[in-house]
Chains A and B, each alone.
Chain A
């Protein structure tokens, strides 16, 4: 099937998924940090988080990716001699891709998480403080477990958009599905067949994600209905 290129495409799908999952982890960390910064009392932290989300959401992913890939390369090689490294460093496209996508979707998740945290009544946090919990304990024990439930719908959307943006990493030379399909298309002169195969693989990934996340959402809302 597919002139023997199917295993290569499947392997590329693995790369696509690992780029997706790694960047999701970075995005979640940045998103929680950004949400806490936006809700903090310090004007500097709020300003920094607002700048982050405004700039990222105003610029296309492709431009940011090219900026981080080419710019990061130049920046690291300019800084390397300062720490005593004198050889030329090549940025790994996997790291550049994961860093960029994680950084971009951190901004979108900041908004999702901020909205989720705001739905938790402030009285609960005050009660936690009154019990003598530290702010970190309040976050981990009270805010975070409830926030997950409120954040799930927005999180699902963000994940679906994120998976689709992973196709861009092929532009900076990572051998994901898209990149392998281009190679196969070049050698067989059947571009439609291979890009269609990639489209189907993406459709499978998004469909499975939707089903999985819907199950998780159902489980969470089941608990809410019985307790209410």
Chain B
């Protein structure tokens, strides 16, 4: 049924696509997480002047499609002359940078909510104990709140990472040759949609399972104290 020759002969294209997908995913997850940690602290703060602006940011980015955000950055920014004349324009005129930037901002918004939820759910006794021990606010966050909240965010964060893996497929729409881009290329060259997209689907499934097992390992390593006994 399926034309295996085409699938096999194009495997190198898919593998280089997988590399692009993994790079996009790794960079955006890393940058998104790095920005999300300080913003989540603001989001969980009791001061509305600090938490409200962050809430607005996450609300807007979680309430609109990733595709719209990508088009706003990739096609939209070129509308402004000041943007085209600024020093960051060489970055924003590249599809690579636009995709990574948009994915990072998007995953940052979701990660902020996950982390802020975990921070707010911290057992208050732990915070009181830390204060009674004379910890300063910075020490309190560094030693008590952040390590515990980051660990407890792992299950929800693994879902976010998988959603982001799937989100990177949108990069193919702005001309990048990721896994989906490779599949579209193969489909337009041979007009064999089943072969092209089923191969891509298998690559994504493999990446999803790798990601799931990485997070499973991470939960065993860092979350075993909360696992059910017996």
Q: Which residue of A lies closest to B78 (CB)?
A: A191
Q: 1/0 contact trace for B86-116 toward A, CB 8 Å?
A: 0000000000000000000000000000000
A75: chain B residues at CB < 8 Å are 194
Contact A191 B71 (CB under 8 A): yes
Partner among B65, B72, B209 whose Cβ is within 8 Å of the Cβ of A196: B72
Contact B198 A67 (CB under 8 A): yes
Q: Which residue of A lies closest to B79 (CB)?
A: A192
Contact A70 B76 (CB under 8 A): no
Q: Which residue of A lies closest to B60 (CB)?
A: A203
Contact A191 B76 (CB under 8 A): yes
A66: chain B residues at CB < 8 Å are 180, 183-184, 187, 193, 197
Q: 1/0 contact trace for A146-171 toward B, CB 8 Å?
A: 00000000000000100011111011
Contact A58 B64 (CB under 8 A): no
Residue B117 at the A interface, CB < 8 A?
A: no
For chains A and B in complex, what number of residue pairs have CB atoms within 8 angstroms?
Answer: 118
Q: Chain B: interface residue count, which band?
A: 35 or more
Contact B65 A165 (CB under 8 A): yes
Q: Which residue of B lies closest to A75 (CB)?
A: B194
A182 to B74, CA, bound (A): 12
A202 to B62, CA, bound (A): 10
Contact A63 B65 (CB under 8 A): no
Question: Quick one: given A62-B180, A64-B201, A67-B201, are A171 and B173 in contact (CB under 8 Å)?
Answer: yes
Contact A55 B205 (CB under 8 A): yes
Contact B169 A202 (CB under 8 A): no
Residue A189 at the B interface, CB < 8 A?
A: yes
Partner among B63, B64, B78, B204 whose Cβ is within 8 Å of the Cβ of A60: B204
Contact A60 B169 (CB under 8 A): yes
Question: Quick one: given A60-B167, A60-B169, A63-B201, are A192 and B76 in contact (CB under 8 Å)?
Answer: yes
Residue B66 at the A interface, CB < 8 A?
A: yes
Contact A58 B193 (CB under 8 A): no
A198 to B67, CA, bound (A): 11
A171 to B167, CA, bound (A): 15
Partner among A64, A181, A195, A202 whose Cβ is within 8 Å of the Cβ of B63: A202
Q: Is the interface of A mostly helix, strand, loop or mixed?
A: helix
Contact A191 B169 (CB under 8 A): no
- In the assembled complex, the CB of B194 is this many whole angstroms from the nearest CB of chain A, namely 5
Residue A217 at the B interface, CB < 8 A?
A: no
- In the assembled complex, the CB of A167 is this many whole angstroms from the nearest CB of chain B, namely 4
A170: chain B residues at CB < 8 Å are 67
Contact B75 A71 (CB under 8 A): no
Contact A58 B205 (CB under 8 A): yes
Partner among A58, A71, A185 whose Cβ is within 8 Å of the Cβ of B204: A58
A126 to B187, CA, bound (A): 53
Contact A63 B197 (CB under 8 A): yes
Q: 1/0 contact trace for A202-218 toward B, CB 8 Å?
A: 11001100000000000
Contact A195 B75 (CB under 8 A): yes
Shortest beta-carbon contacts, A-B, top 8? A70-B193, A192-B76, A67-B197, A60-B166, A167-B65, A60-B169, A58-B205, A164-B65
Measured CB to CB, the residues of B under 8 A from A are: 60, 63-69, 71-72, 75-80, 162, 165-170, 172-173, 179-180, 183-184, 187, 191, 193-194, 197-198, 200-201, 204-205, 208-209
Contacts A60-B167, A164-B65, A196-B76 aside, 17 further interface pairs with beta carbons under 8 A come to A55-B201, A59-B205, A60-B180, A62-B170, A63-B180, A66-B187, A74-B191, A75-B194, A166-B65, A167-B68, A171-B173, A192-B79, A195-B68, A195-B71, A195-B76, A199-B64, A199-B68
Q: List 24 A-B contacts (CB under 8 A).
A: A58-B209, A60-B165, A60-B169, A60-B180, A60-B204, A61-B169, A62-B166, A62-B169, A62-B170, A62-B173, A63-B204, A66-B187, A67-B193, A74-B193, A160-B63, A164-B65, A166-B65, A170-B67, A178-B67, A185-B75, A191-B71, A195-B72, A202-B63, A202-B68
Measured CB to CB, the residues of A under 8 A from B are: 55, 57-64, 66-67, 70-71, 73-75, 160, 164-168, 170-171, 178, 181-182, 185, 189-193, 195-196, 198-199, 202-203, 206-207
